[in-house]
Amino acid sequence: MRQKIKKFWEFSKYFYQTASISQIIWVSFTIAAVVSMGFAGVLLYAKISANTEELILRNSIQLVNQVSLNLETSVRNMMRISNSMYYCTIKNADLQEESLDWDMNLLYEANRDSLVSIACFDADGNVVTGMPVSTLKEGVDPASQSWFQKANDKIENLHFSTPHVQNLFLEDSSRYSWVISLSRTVELTRAGETSRGILLVDMDYSGIEQLFEKVNTGGSGYTYLIDGSGEIIYHPRQRAIYANLNTENNLVAAEYEDGNHRENFQGEERSVTVKTVGYTGWKIVHVVPTEEFYLNLNQMRLFVLFIVLFTILCMGLLNIFISGRIATPIKRLEAAVREMEEGTGELELCEEGSQEIRHLGRTIYSMVRQRQKLMEEIVVEQEEKRKSELDALQSQINPHFLYNTLDSIVWMIEGEQYKEAISMVTALSRLFRISISKGKTIITIREEAEHARNYMNIQKVRYKNRFTFEMHMEPGILQYSTIKLVIQPLLENAIYYGMESMDGDGVIRVCGYEEGEDIWIDVLDNGPGMTPEEVENLLVDGKHEHKKGSGVGLVNVHQRIRLYFGERYGLKIDSEPDVGTRVRIHLPKSFAKEDKRP
């Protein structure tokens, strides 16, 4: 179990970490709705079921009480008749002198709706008087009948029989009556002598039947009547029970105290309400099969389930809309921020969603704008700085070079070498033109190579062909860009440090070629070369001194290339004493970007 809870917890955490905001809102709201509605549904069902059961039981008690009241009224009426007959007539009459007929007839006529007969018998069962007839059927012995014997056995009590067909008096037709006999012992006086007699009041059973029929029409359950020993007096299915088509739990019900009981009869759960009728010991039994109110409860359960499901689904639907309304602006904002981070989009001002989200959008928008502005300012500033540095580096052209070149031109003119002078001035002019490059920092390799060639033309004149110069550039690389003045300073160094001691056998070569995405331009000379220590210090700023030349040294070129193209580019130097030096310019394959001076 703990494992499962832990697993569930982990899953929840994972879900909350990976799900979108709309999913989290929807799931959270829906879980809350399901739990609350489920809880409400269970409570509602429990309350309704308790109320239903209570209501049914209360109705049962009410019904039984009502029936009991009506039945007691009938019973009391019968007892009143019996009492009247006994105490007002029989007890005061001497049968030797007077008859009971008149009084009995009066009483019978007054109650004939509920009476079948009323009769008085002596101790041997002979009729003293009887209404409406007093002639006994042939062969009938009242003394052998149970109502007579019971009254005789317990003389203080009134006795109520179970329903039976009256079988005492001669009838002139096939009409018969089901009766309930109320019998009691009475004291008969004859010529001053008292003797025991039995007074019988036969109550019409149909009165009881009608009373119970009224409460057994429809509704839940049914009501029946038993005597103290469980014998059925009335049952709505009495004939079926008599015909053994039905059975009833009457013998067990006779043992029940008044109140509600639960019983299981023939596999059926039933709620039984019992009420004892006064004077008689009869019991009214109201039976409700629990299936009947469970059927109602089942319907109610289904109904509650419908409502709960309906509400949950409606809330689920609502949650989708609400989560969408909340999350969509946030998601759009997040997407815009992400695009902006990736540099693929522009942040737009968020004008949807709730007031908080709009405020958040405006704030982020404002922050991003400010950041962009700052970035642009930084970029411009950096660019300015870079250009300033380049300018500063490029401006380090040795004035001696200019002075010497002009001096050479003067010397050529004086020596009437006009053609050479023109050539030199032209070369110098080109040199300066490329140096200036309309203010551009970046030129093509073609231009840089031409610049280097012009420079070498000038220097070859000056150094009277003390060395030879070769340049071989692969045509494919000429279109790519480089910062200007990268080859010329290397050539200058090669001349000053490599060729001074040469006497016509010096060689300076420039080779340009490509390797993958890189361009290499090698400047080689066969001068005296350098030791590894010297090479090591060569590209470290401030660790060497330049003796002569333009002043734009190796460090200058190296720093400019790295400043512009990045740290992986720049110069590489291979040198060996007495063999020569190779300086390699490493550039990327790139095309010139707009680079105007302000």
Partner 1 sequence: MTNKNKAAVAVIGGILVVLSVLAYFYVDLAKVNRERVNVSVVVYGSTAERWTAFRQGAEQAASDLDATVNFVTMEENDREEQERLMSGELENGAQGLAVALADTRAQAAEYVTATSGAVPMVLVESEIYGNASLSCVAANAYEMGKELARQALEDAPEDASIHMVWMGENRQSQKDRMAGFKDACREAGRQVQESLYPNQEAMRQVLKGDGTYVLAAIDDLTLETAVNVIGGKQENISLYGIGSSAQIVYALDQGLVKGIVFQNEFNMGYEAVDILVQKIRKGGAEEPMEIDFHHATGETLHEPEHERLLYPIIQ
Which residues would be at the binding site for partner 1 (CB under 8 A)? 22, 137-139, 163-165, 167, 171, 173-174, 176, 178, 205-206, 209, 213, 236-240, 242-245, 295, 298-299, 302-303, 306, 309-310, 313-314, 316-317, 320, 324
The answer for residues whose C-beta is within 8 angstroms of residue 116's C-beta and 6 or more apart is 166, 177, 179, 202, 203, 204
3-state secondary structure of 442: strand
Q: Of the two residues 164 and 261, which places its CB atom closer to partner 1 in the complex?
A: 164
Q: Of the two residues 270 and 560, which places its CB atom closer to partner 1 in the complex?
A: 270
The full length of the chain comes to 598
Cα–Cα distances (Å) from 342 to 34, 191, 335, 345, in that order, read 41, 134, 10, 8
| Of 183, 103, 175, nearest in space to 149 by CA | 183
H helices of 417-547, where?
418-436, 445-462, 487-493, 532-538
Minimum distance from CB of 248 to partner 1 (Å)?
A: 14
Q: Of the two residues 138 and 515, which places its CB atom closer to partner 1 in the complex?
A: 138
DSSP 8-state secondary structure symbol assigned to residue 593: P
In whole angstroms, what is the distance from residue 382 CA to residue 376 CA?
A: 10
Q: Of the two residues 314 and 579, which places its CB atom closer to partner 1 in the complex?
A: 314
Q: Of the two residues 91 and 137, which places its CB atom closer to partner 1 in the complex?
A: 137
Minimum distance from CB of 325 to partner 1 (Å)?
A: 10
Instruction: Name the token pair of 279.
Output: 């004077």
Minimum distance from CB of 220 to partner 1 (Å)?
A: 14
Minimum distance from CB of 393 to partner 1 (Å)?
A: 57
Q: Cα–chain-centroid distance for residue 579?
A: 81
DSSP 8-state secondary structure symbol assigned to residue 539: T
Minimum distance from CB of 326 to partner 1 (Å)?
A: 13
Instruction: Name the token pair of 261.
Output: 């009981």
Minimum distance from CB of 290 to partner 1 (Å)?
A: 16
H helices of 415-468, where?
418-436, 445-462
Q: Of the two residues 169 and 455, which places its CB atom closer to partner 1 in the complex?
A: 169
In whole angstroms, what is the distance from residue 12 CA to residue 465 CA?
A: 85
Q: Of the two residues 26 and 86, which places its CB atom closer to partner 1 in the complex?
A: 26
Minimum distance from CB of 217 to partner 1 (Å)?
A: 12
Please calculate the CA angle 150-152-155 and round it to the nearest 5 degrees. 100
Q: Of the two residues 244 and 395, which places its CB atom closer to partner 1 in the complex?
A: 244
Please calculate the CA angle 482-483-487 and round it to the nearest 5 degrees. 80
Q: Of the two residues 328 and 559, which places its CB atom closer to partner 1 in the complex?
A: 328
In whole angstroms, what is the distance from residue 344 CA to residue 354 CA?
A: 27
Q: Of the two residues 310 and 418, which places its CB atom closer to partner 1 in the complex?
A: 310
Q: Between the CA atoms of 232, 237, 242 and 246, what dihedral angle is there, to the nearest 10 degrees?
A: -110
| Of 103, 82, 144, 595, nearest in space to 384 by CA | 595
Four-residue CA torsion sign, 313, 316, 318, 324: negative
Question: Does residue 512 contact residue 449 with C-beta atoms inside 8 Å?
Answer: yes
Q: Of the two residues 102 and 321, which places its CB atom closer to partner 1 in the complex?
A: 321
Minimum distance from CB of 20 to partner 1 (Å)?
A: 9
**Cis status of the peptide bond prior to 528, with omega within 30 of 0:** no
In whole angstroms, what is the distance from residue 419 CA to residue 441 CA?
A: 33
Q: Of the two residues 110 and 251, which places its CB atom closer to partner 1 in the complex?
A: 251
Minimum distance from CB of 57 to partner 1 (Å)?
A: 23
In whole angstroms, what is the distance from residue 508 CA to residue 470 CA?
A: 6
Minimum distance from CB of 212 to partner 1 (Å)?
A: 10
Minimum distance from CB of 338 to partner 1 (Å)?
A: 17
In whole angstroms, what is the distance from residue 161 CA to residue 182 CA?
A: 7
